Amino acid sequence: MKFKRKVYLDNNATTQIDKKVEKKIKSFVKHYGNPSSMHLMGKYTGDMVETARKYVSELINAEPEEIIFTSGGTEANNTILKGVASLLKEKGNHIITSIIEHPSIIQTCEFLEKQGFQVTYLPVNSDGLIDLNELERAINGKTILISIMTANNEVGSIQDIKHISEIAHGKNILFHTDAVQAVGKIPIDVKTMDVDFLTYSSHKIYGPKGVGALYFKTSKKFENLIHGGHQEYFLRGGTENTIGIIGFGETAKVMIEEGLEYNNKIKSLRSLFLNSIKEFFPNVKVNGPLTGGLFGTINLLFPETDNKRMVALLDYYGICTSTGSACSEGEKEASHVLKAIGLSNKDAGSSIRFSIGKYSTKKDIKYSVRKLKEILNDKISLQYLSPEELNESIILNKDYLLLDIRSNFQRKLTKPIAKAELLNCFKTDEYFNAIPKNKNIILICELGSNAVNAGYKLKKRGFSNVKVLLGGYLSWKAIHPDLFRKYIKDN
Ligand code: PLP
């Protein structure tokens, strides 16, 4: 895909791969030996994996034997919650976490609740912080594990991890922290934090995706999540993702060598961004901590706006942002984090997360501010069609043109309406010239946001009768299951 201008402000979702890491991965790809093999080729790869482990551990001041590689933060979180629960179930069945954790913690806790465990989800204040007294009160004789994230992915709040760990250890309870958003953004030292387990992930720190790590004090045991091999000290079976691990090692090395200096730049970009927006949109509000949080995470409430529409319009200008965490982006529910810090559903639906990273520039920020201003003062208003309104009389009407701009993959999962024209969502521009201007166009995407982007493009090209299907094809299917069955392709 080519963009006229690309501004990436979604660094909490994932980051661009560092050039040095890219180079390292490219040079490593030819080494395909299996680290478990006895021959030299395998030994070479095995050595590279151990070198990576050295850097990845050093990044958080751990020892190499205290680190196992996983497929990412999600797996590391699952491993610890399920692994401790399984090992200590005779001792107790109570786990404490917070209400603003990542879905890989919340949904794993929900799974454990179904297995008979009890979970306390601590609330947070408007700054996204738990109350330590409340934590102490929540502990009971059956508590086996406390898991509280170091930094939040949506609003950037940073918990007092050292203090939480003191409380946990004072009661002889294990403590895990999900530090996926903290590593690379604030100094992380497992020795001073005194945590038993810590999760982190490569793709949030300019390394490749699909690889992460779990730190564990070697004295603290947990049951395997993945059985089936001697790899990773018998704690995680399966042939290692060697390419990912080598990339993760390199990104850790770069971070150790270069330090976290770029955070100063991120801090000043944050001020520039906030101050410039306030100049033309004084009603903007910062969700989460004003100070003391992650500099790069800026969650803003633009009252009376629709965040999905805004994110789609920013996307139209090549600016990548998000309405919440990448893992919950497709969900229709308002962000659980924003609701937890006290926002109404409506305000959560008017909030956007901008996450600045080490490659962000002053130019990016200035461009984004300019475009935000244009969008907020926008005269081009799109029209919407509710899913209820897309009925048989429209489907069969020759004056209407239904444009399905979902991906081929999405169309395989949910078949399109037979009458709809199918447009490649990555190449909409190429087809726009072929669209007759006299038709009533209805743009249909999966969840309603990509169609806003396309609708905006059409409007700018002079198409006057354009409507976007609200909530996308999935909402329509849920509301009209009968029409869906009657009019989908292949029927
Ligand atoms: N924990 C937090 C706080 C995150 O932000 C994320 C990813 O967004 C994860 C865990 C999951 O990490 P991964 O994408 O490596 O599975």
Residue where one domain finishes, among candidates 376, 391, 421: 376
pLDDT tens digits for 119-157? 999 999 999 999 999 999 999 999 999 999 999 999 999
Q: Residue 468, CB half-sphere, CA atoms under 13 Å: how many? A: 25
Question: Within this chain, do residues 208 and 283 fall inside the same structural domain, yes or no?
Answer: no
- Ligand 1 neighbourhood includes 154 CB (under 6 angstroms): no
- Max distance between CA atoms of the chain, in angstroms, equals 73
Quote the pLDDT of residue 491.
Answer: 45
pLDDT band for position 328 (cuts 50, 70, 90)? very low
d(CA 290, CA 341): 13
Task: Report yes or no on whether pTM surpasses 0.85.
Answer: yes
Ligand 1 centre from 179 Cα, in Å?
9
Q: How many domains does the chain have?
A: 3
Question: Within this chain, do residues 191 and 112 fall inside the same structural domain, yes or no?
Answer: yes
d(CA 218, CA 89): 20
d(CA 261, CA 256): 11
Ligand 1 centre from 278 Cα, in Å?
31
**Domain CATH code at residue 77:** 3.40.640.10
pLDDT tens digits for 103-118? 999 999 999 999 999 9
- Ligand 1 neighbourhood includes 244 CB (under 6 angstroms): no
CB atoms within 10 A of CB 326: 13
Quote the pLDDT of residue 253.
Answer: 98
- Ligand 1 neighbourhood includes 308 CB (under 6 angstroms): no
- Ligand 1 neighbourhood includes 201 CB (under 6 angstroms): yes
Please state whether beta strands 421-422 and 400-404 pair in parallel, antiparallel, or not at all (unpaired).
parallel
Question: Within this chain, do residues 224 and 124 fall inside the same structural domain, yes or no?
Answer: yes
The preferred substitution site among 10, 79, 97, 104 for testing ligand 1, maximizing ligand atoms within 8 Å of CB, is 104
Q: Residue length, the chain?
A: 491
C-beta separation of 483 from 395 below 8 A = yes
Ligand 1 centre from 485 Cα, in Å?
37
Q: How far apart, in Å, are the Cα atoms of 111 and each of 117, 118, 134, 466?
A: 9, 11, 24, 44
Domain assignment of residue 389, given as a range: 383-487
- Ligand 1 neighbourhood includes 224 CB (under 6 angstroms): no
Only one residue has tokens 């008017």, namely: 350
pLDDT band for position 326 (cuts 50, 70, 90)? very low
For residues 279-297, average pLDDT: 96
In this predicted structure, the answer to whether residue 325 has a pLDDT above a threshold of 80 is no
Residue where one domain finishes, among candidates 258, 283, 313: 258
Residue 5, classed as helix, strand or coil, is coil
C-beta separation of 467 from 385 below 8 A = yes
β partners of residue 483? none
Burial category of 440 from C-beta neighbours within 10 Å (exposed 0-12, middle 13-18, buried 19 and up): middle
Quote the pLDDT of residue 490.
Answer: 64
Residue where one domain finishes, among candidates 208, 227, 258: 258
Only one residue has tokens 């937890």, namely: 340
pLDDT tens digits for 450-488? 888 888 888 888 888 999 998 889 989 999 999 999 988
- Residue 445 among the catalytic residues: no
Domain for residue 349, yes or no?
yes
pLDDT tens digits for 392-451? 999 999 999 999 999 888 998 899 998 898 987 777 777 777 888 888 999 999 888 788
**Domain CATH code at residue 387:** 3.40.250.10
Quote the pLDDT of residue 329.
Answer: 43
Cα-flanking dihedrals φ and ψ of residue 415, to 5°?
A: -60, 145
Question: Within this chain, do residues 112 and 148 fall inside the same structural domain, yes or no?
Answer: yes
Domain for residue 436, yes or no?
yes
CB atoms within 10 A of CB 490: 6
